[in-house]
Amino acid sequence: MKSIRVEIPESLYTDYDDYARRRNLKTEDVIHMALQLHRARLRKGTHSLRDQQPVSMGRILKPWSSRAQLLEDFFDREDDHDRD
């Protein structure tokens, strides 16, 4: 294996470090995994979100009847996750 030195933004390193800590891994191992995942995606040719296949999230619970209702649901109400 080849050792290299790479400078990354502090916030990016913190993200990798937090992820590693939550999974009881070394930060450098998480960065190595991220590089391998990136390489695999490049080989598959998936460079954009547009290249991803759609995934079903199930049936629609309550359809929006207008754009205003859609925006209200996204911006004006509390997130259900915050209540847990």
For the chain, give every domain's residue range.
Answer: 1-46
Give residue 3's Cα distance to chain centre. 27
Per-residue pLDDT of the chain (84 residues; tens, 9 = 90+): 888 898 999 999 999 999 999 999 999 999 999 999 888 878 776 567 777 788 888 888 888 888 888 888 778 656 555 544
The alpha helices in 1-84, defined as continuous H runs, are 10-22, 27-44, 67-75
Q: Residue 84: what pLDDT?
A: 45
Within 13 A of 56's CA, how many CA atoms are on the CB side?
Answer: 3
- Indicate the pTM of the whole model: 0.51
- What fold does the segment set 1-46 form as a domain? Arc Repressor Mutant (1.10.1220)
* Residue 63 φ then ψ, to 5°: -70, 150
Report d(CA 19, CA 25) in Å as an integer. 8
The token pair at 35 is 């590089």
